[in-house]
Chains A and B, each alone.
Chain A
């Protein structure tokens, strides 16, 4: 596709349920990033992938959060046993290579945990 796409656009879930968020990066981009943005705040870096590997997972808020990437393409961010504080917009971005290049952002997934 022409840009980064994310699905779903919006997700409402009940506390305690698991959710899976999907990101499709720009074709050919080896680097993929996940961020969280709470209402009215800046972006909080979660994790990045170089190819299918995540060199640093320390940005994930807790062990309820996990992410994977396959085929150097699509990535999924999974939140288990969701809590109300997980409510936020989750943004995905991709770039040609990590670190030195412009990041192109998707429209985000707005997650609401009731």
Chain B
């Protein structure tokens, strides 16, 4: 079963506003990744943050990671209509020498022009 939980499940904002999405997880991780998905097909990688990092930036994106709370957030600043998509967090951990990949349930973001 999926362990990653994201909230909100859906978010609707006006163009120019900031959008914040949160991801919680249950197990220890090596890294956490955020992806965007348009139209239910292939995913596009946004940011990878390692377990020893607390914050990362990429353009209008800012990701934070709090391993003590087992949570991460993705902030999109100055949103655009083109940011409309589903956003997923994915955790990568290690169990018994093998990697475990767990995707969250996703946040559907709608940016209104």
Contacts and interface: CB of A to CB of B under 8 A. Distances in A.
B42 interface: yes
- Consensus secondary structure, chain B interface: strand
Contact of A43 (B44, B88, B99): B88
Contact of A42 (B44, B48, B94, B106): B106
A25 interface: no
Interface residues on B, range: 20 to 34
Interface residues on A, range: 20 to 34
Given A91-B43, A107-B41, A55 B97 contact: yes
Given A55-B97, A100-B30, A41 B105 contact: yes
Contact of B103 (A39, A45, A56, A104): A45
Interface of A: 33, 35, 37, 39, 41-45, 48, 55-56, 89, 91, 93, 98-108
